[in-house]
Chain A
Amino acid sequence: MKYFGSGHGACPGCGLPIAVKTVLNALDGKVFAVNSTGCLEIISSQYGKNAWNVPYIHSLFENPAAVAAGVEAALKALKRKDEGYVVVFAGDGATADIGIGTLSGAFDRNHDILYICLDNEAYQNTGHQQSGLTPPGESTTTTPAGKVLPGKIGGKKDMISIAVAHGIPYVASSSVGYVADIRRKVKKAVKFEGAKYIQIHSPCVTGWGIDGEMSIKVARLAVETALYPLVEYEYGKLTSVRKIKERKPVEEYLKQQRRFRHLFKHPKGKEMIEMLQKFADENAEKYGLDLKKDEE
């Protein structure tokens, strides 16, 4: 049975429907879906062309976590909690920038919800503006690469650490490039009582400037270069990471995408690539991603 319908309006090669259908299938459709404003809402809930086959509510950009908390509290009061899991599907802008207040509140009260952040690294729905989860060096419409600046300055907000710091039972990151990993993590997450957070890296074909068929390969390259480590925390402790056999240089990931192409010509581009490589090295060090290092 399908829980997410064909005929939705996503671009060919979009990662969001892959993530959503994997989550819904993993939970056998026992889901109350709460959606923030963003690409996913636009592609799946146009009036009269609803793609969802599970109970679905969309409210605003800033309050998916608060709405989910309300749904969860209502189900508790009506003694209907066995009917399904409350799952939030929110974009990276709704999670890291606009909705972080209500998200923090829901984590603090430890509502029994599963919060899924679909991270496509910018506000892709409105035309590729930078968000808190945009990586440094990316050229967006609000941080364009020009004569002086090579794209976004600063860093990618570490939402995983922010979620872990709230002391919630389960935090994980995953990627659309590995659907089996998403499935396993979602199934594991719902066993915990309390707030759960999973961040799923999802390619955007138009924003990132990639070909539709490349989207899975690019998502896998992000993991293989250690720019997007797949980790798992239970009660604040790191329990598992996806090891990388042979870590690739970040250039291999960057040169596939239009959003980073200026880095190879810009006077400050080399500096920026070195910074991203340092970021990947730090990730590998922090989470122990390299398989070879362990063997030596």
Chain B
Amino acid sequence: MKIKINLGAISEPMQSEKLKTGDWGTHYPVVDKEKCTACKTCEQYCPDLCIEVEEFGEEKYAAVDYNYCKGCGICSSVCPFEAIKMELKDIFKFEVC
């Protein structure tokens, strides 16, 4: 890997998107499309800017970018319609024997 070094340590904007933080968390949010009213509350509170209300044909609901979601669960806790549920990732579902 090559790193370009500028004088005075100037770095390019929005380079953080190279760091995919999606694998940090243990949980991931699942949006219930029927309950979601596209009110954008989750969009305003998401600290990782990875949940956005988008249009899918005629429907409009919140969509999660799992590349960056850290699974904090803020979207689920602020949702006024309880449309977002946090679920455990498959790799953490193991039995201890």
**Bound together:** yes
Q: Which of B42-72 contact A (CB under 8 A)?
A: 44-50, 65, 67-68, 70-72
Report the bound CA distance from A292 to B33 in whole Å: 39
Question: Please, what's the 1-or-0 string for B8-19, where 1 marks a CB less than 8 Å from any CB in chain A?
Answer: 010111111111
Interface residues of A in 39-78 (CB under 8 A from B): 44-54
Interchain CB contact under 8 A, B45 and A5: no
Q: Which residues in A have some Cβ–Cβ distance to B below 8 Å?
A: 2, 4-10, 12-18, 21-22, 44-54, 179-180, 205, 211-217
Which 3 residue pairs across A and B have the least CB separation, nearest first?
Answer: A213-B73, A212-B72, A12-B72
Contact B16 A12 (CB under 8 A): no
Q: How large is the interface on B (under 10, 10 to 19, 20 to 34, 35 or more residues)?
A: 20 to 34
Chain B residues whose CB sits within 8 angstroms of the CB of A180 once the complex forms:
44
Distance in angstroms between the alpha carbons of A22 and B11 in the assembled complex: 23
* Most A CB within 10 A of own CB, among B17, B47, B68: B47
Restricting to B2-37, which residues have a CB under 8 Å from any CB of A? 3, 9, 11-21, 24-25
Shortest C-beta distance, A144 to chain B (Å), equals 28
Complex contacts, A54 vs chain B, CB 8 Å? 13
Instruction: Decide: A52 and B47 in contact? CB cutoff 8 A.
Output: no
Q: Please name 22 pairs of A and B residues whose Cβ atoms are closer than 8 Å in the assembled complex, sorted by A.
A: A2-B14, A5-B14, A6-B48, A6-B67, A7-B16, A7-B48, A8-B21, A9-B16, A10-B47, A14-B72, A16-B47, A17-B47, A17-B49, A21-B49, A48-B11, A48-B18, A51-B16, A180-B44, A205-B72, A213-B73, A213-B76, A216-B78
Return the contact of B16 from the options A5, A21, A215 (Cβ within 8 A).
Answer: A5
Q: Residue B74 at the A interface, CB < 8 A?
A: yes
Chain A residues whose CB sits within 8 angstroms of the CB of B71 once the complex forms = 12, 212
Contacts A6-B21, A6-B68, A12-B24 given; does A47 touch B47 at CB 8 Å: no
What is the CB-to-nearest-CB distance from A189 to chain B, in angstroms, rounded to a whole number?
19
A51 to B3, CA, bound (A): 17
Residues of B within 8 Å of A212, CB to CB, are 70-74
Is B68 touching A12 in the complex (CB atoms < 8 A)?
Answer: no
Given the interface pairs A7-B17, A9-B19, the reply to whether A216 lies near B74 with Cβ below 8 Å is: yes
Contacts of A45 in B (CB 8 A): 11
Let me know if B86 is at the binding interface, CB within 8 A. Answer: yes
B68 surroundings in chain A (CB, below 8 A):
6-7
- Contact, CB under 8 Å: B45 / A179: yes
Task: Considering the complex, give the chain A residue whose CB is closest to the CB of B19.
Answer: A7
B74 touches A13 (CB 8 A): yes
In the assembly, what is the distance between CA of A52 and CA of B11, in Å?
10
Within 8 Å CB of A22, what residues of B? 44
List 13 additional contacts besides A7-B20, A14-B47; criterion CB under 8 Å.
Answer: A4-B49, A8-B48, A9-B16, A12-B25, A12-B71, A46-B16, A48-B11, A50-B11, A179-B44, A211-B73, A213-B72, A215-B72, A216-B74
* B3 adjacent to A48 (CB under 8 Å): yes
Chain A residue at minimal CB-CB distance from B26: A12
- Cα–Cα, bound, A151→B45 (Å): 31
